[in-house]
Structure 1
Amino acid sequence: MTDPAYWDTYAKSSKPRRQTNAAGETTWFNWTQYPDHGPGAGVLAISPGSVVLELGCGSGGNLAHLATLGARAVGIDVSPAQLTAVEDRWGGQPGLQLRHADAVPFLSETDTEFDAIYSVFGAAWFTDPDVLLPLVRKRLRPGGVYAFSHRPAIEGCYGCQASYIHREDADPFIVKRWDYEPDRWVEILAGHGFTTASAEVVAAPPGPKTFGTLLVRAQA
């Protein structure tokens, strides 16, 4: 399992999700790093009764929203601090289930079939796709959706890159992430048996923003 201390450190530096969004909703889905921006849960094409898995659920806001839509929403995370935050805020939400687990062992061991698997700035960014994608593909029902988002790749910096989790009074933790251009993600997904793969960079909202959000979607 990835060292939980890395992501517990990250959790401490993360701002909690607002109590309501601009529309006054207490739960909502957000693929991008900007509030009230970009597409929502429709990307996953789920309906009441769907079984959905989030790889790296963080503080659980997106997962809780899917539960309110009637999904069985399963979230895994390696950080106990993140899972505690989910329990504290969303623990009473029917349909929401949490597991302390890393993505690769969980997908290797579970026998559950999912209608959708997704990741928002989570495990899909920090796991070798040649390891992760065959496991995701195996656990999706026919036609099921796999989608993920994270920061776009820096031009010329593709493949496995170093990412830094800063901490006070100590050197940062260094973790691996995998960055590719949108067209390359489509090729990678097709190579692992996914269909109707698409990838785009969702532009940042107006203002002094410097980068958008990579959003990738495919079907089993």
Structure 2
Amino acid sequence: MDVTDTAIAWDTYSRQRPDRRPVNARGDTTWFNWTQYPDHGPGAELLELPPGGRALDIGCGKGGNAAHLAATGMQAVGIDVSPVQLRAARERWGYESGPELYQAEAVSFLRDTTESFDAVYSVYGALWFTDPARLLPAVRERLRPGGRLVFSQRPPVEGCYGRQASYILRGDDEDPLVVQRWDYEPDAWERLLAEHGYTGVRATVLTAPAGTRRVGTLVVTARA
């Protein structure tokens, strides 16, 4: 598999994605969203953060979820490999009141930092696009006892499991960029996290909004 440099790939992806809306359906200026659909699904309560808790967003993109945690009094840290994504996050959420943001690859950041976290999460982010054999142990090392790992991504296509190619389209005359992703069915994720020492693992597919035939969202929760 000819894989594109990850920073280039996610910079390209960022330029194609619309910014988060100014407000959601309730009129909130910040909010947490696990799914690919607006105003749908659970919120930050899945993280089970204590007051003022510290949370790490791996693959934070333009920072909307981390900004929501910061706005609610949490210590929010976001990392992403894409400088374009992070620049957009800083421009929208600011440097002082917003989350701490760093350009870094997830495994390297987790191995290099001495900080610990009450929760580590990924919304269509690094947990989908990093080898779990490398990432899951690194996350567990940085979680405080009882801390939560929560992530979401699209459910796998039937028969396409494990390491897959994911394509980021470019212009009509350009080949798409290729990144790796890891797809597993819910029970396979549960076994995999248990093998890496996580407890209370639960992987479920959240149904898409009513009235649609679109794919749901795989949500996985576990505890260190």
- Which category describes the TM-score, using the shorter chain as reference length? over 0.9
> What is the DSSP-based 3-state SS (H/G/I as helix, E as strand, rest coil) of the residue aligned with 2:46?
helix
> What is the DSSP-based 3-state SS (H/G/I as helix, E as strand, rest coil) of the residue aligned with 1:107?
helix
> What is the DSSP-based 3-state SS (H/G/I as helix, E as strand, rest coil) of the residue aligned with 1:124?
helix
The answer to whether the 8 A contact 1:203-1:213 is kept is yes
**Per-residue deviation at 1:70?**
1.0
User: Match of 1:175?
Assistant: 179
Q: Deviations over 1:24-45 (max 9, x none)?
A: 0000000000000000000000
Alignment partner of 1:6 is 2:21: no
Q: What is the count of residue pairs matched by the alignment?
A: 220
C-alpha separation between the residues in 2 aligned to 1:2 and 1:146? 27
C-alpha separation between the residues in 1 aligned to 2:73 and 2:5? 31
TM-score by length of 1: 0.97
**Per-residue deviation at 1:138?**
0.5
Alignment partner of 1:189 is 2:193: yes
C-alpha separation between the residues in 2 aligned to 1:84 and 1:212? 30
User: Match of 2:136?
Assistant: 133
Alignment partner of 1:215 is 2:223: no
User: Match of 2:126?
Assistant: 123
Alignment partner of 1:78 is 2:81: yes
Evaluate the alpha carbon distance shift between residue 72 and residue 2 of structure 1 in structure 2; reply closer, same or farther with a 3 A threshold.
farther
Of the three residues 48, 52, 58, the one matched with 2:61 is 58
TM-score by length of 2: 0.95
Of the three residues 156, 159, 162, the one matched with 1:159 is 162
The answer to whether the 8 A contact 2:6-2:179 is kept is no
C-alpha separation between the residues in 1 aligned to 2:110 and 2:129? 15
**Identity rate, percent:** 59
Alignment partner of 1:26 is 2:29: yes
Amino acid across the alignment from 1:107: L
Runs of at least 4 residues off by over 6 Å: none
> What is the DSSP-based 3-state SS (H/G/I as helix, E as strand, rest coil) of the residue aligned with 1:59?
coil
The answer for unaligned runs of 5 or more in structure 1 is: none
**Per-residue deviation at 1:210?**
1.9
The answer to whether the 8 A contact 2:32-2:43 is kept is yes
User: Match of 1:198?
Assistant: 202
> What is the DSSP-based 3-state SS (H/G/I as helix, E as strand, rest coil) of the residue aligned with 2:178?
strand
**Per-residue deviation at 1:69?**
1.5
User: Match of 2:113?
Assistant: 110
The answer to whether the 8 A contact 1:71-1:95 is kept is no
C-alpha separation between the residues in 2 aligned to 1:30 and 1:47? 19
The answer for unaligned runs of 5 or more in structure 2 is: none
> What is the DSSP-based 3-state SS (H/G/I as helix, E as strand, rest coil) of the residue aligned with 1:175?
strand
User: Match of 1:67?
Assistant: 70
